[in-house]
Amino acid sequence: MSPGAGAPGTVLLAGIVGSTAYGFAHAGSDVDRLGLFATPTEELHGLDRPAESYVTTAPDLTLHEAAKWCRLALNCNPTASELVWLPDDLYETRTPLGAELVAIRSTFLSAPAVRRAYLGYADQQFRKLLTRDTAEPAARRRAAKHARHLVRLTEQAVRLHETGRHLIRLPDPERVRELGERIADRPDSAEPLLAAAAERLSRPGVLPDAPDRRPAEAWLRRVRAAHYRPPA
């Protein structure tokens, strides 16, 4: 199934995300895909709003409508934001409008949103670790997955805050995997990691205090103009 198959509009940008993108994938890992699409503009003029997301698990694919994706990215949603920071070889669809979005990716970033979103997601992973019974092998594997993502999120947050760059493909995934295994066995060992990330994110960084919404607004208006077909 291609990223555009079954989408309720024109897919502008799509690629492979998740464990494959980070370098965590192993034989048998699912391949997760993420993208964004443009609803035909005339469908936005009626009484009922069209769906803003399309999700399927066969295969694992999530597509967000262009406006929804922009709102998520302006809040630095870690999952949605990955789409515009992928290595080139992981894109499966990149239209001219999609390439324009990649070109303005830094304008979506802000220090408070990175701190809130990334540390918030990392804390969610930590709480899952604290409540998970790891006696069963399947539960132990899920705990290790939560722990890996906790490590990844904290390190990505610090890198974004200090460099303004989002590194999706981790340079040392095995180190993160091994650290995740240790944290899965002793969840409380993640507390210093979370505290250190919070401390570094409290220092001055390179990101602005608020995102620049103007490029996203201009881009979205170009999307709407390009996808308007007047009714016959």
- Ranges of each domain in the chain: 11-108+212-227, 111-202
CA distances from 208 to 112, 164, 222 (A): 9, 10, 25
The pLDDT of 9-18, averaged and rounded, is: 95
Q: How far apart are CA 31 and CA 25, in angstroms?
A: 9
Note the pLDDT of residue 5.
62
The pLDDT of 126-132, averaged and rounded, is: 88
Q: Is the pLDDT of residue 30 over 90?
A: no
Please say whether the structural domain 11-108+212-227 has been given the CATH code 3.40.50.
no
Q: How far apart are CA 200 and CA 70, in angstroms?
A: 27
* Residues 140 and 134: beta-carbon distance below 8 Å: yes
Q: How far apart are CA 56 and CA 60, in angstroms?
A: 6
Note the pLDDT of residue 12.
98
Average pLDDT along the chain: 93
Q: Is the pLDDT of residue 1 over 60?
A: no
Note the pLDDT of residue 135.
74
**Torsions phi, psi for 50 (to 5 deg):** -70, 165
pTM for the predicted model, two decimal places: 0.92
Q: Is the pLDDT of residue 2 over 70?
A: no
Q: Is the pLDDT of residue 139 over 60?
A: yes
Residues 6+ apart with CB under 8 A from 64: 35, 36, 37, 52, 53, 72, 80
- pLDDT band for 58, please (50, 70, 90 cuts): confident
Task: Specify the pairing of strand 32-38 against strand 60-65.
Answer: parallel
**Torsions phi, psi for 128 (to 5 deg):** -65, -40
In this structure, the dihedral spanned by the alpha carbons of residues 101, 103, 107 and 108, taken in order and rounded to 10 degrees, is 40
**Torsions phi, psi for 78 (to 5 deg):** -60, -40
Q: How far apart are CA 153 and CA 17, in angstroms?
A: 14
- DSSP structure string for 181-198: HHHHH-GGGGHHHHHHHH
* Residue 11 neighbours by CB distance under 10 Å: 21
Q: How far apart are CA 168 and CA 222, in angstroms?
A: 28
The pLDDT of 166-192, averaged and rounded, is: 94
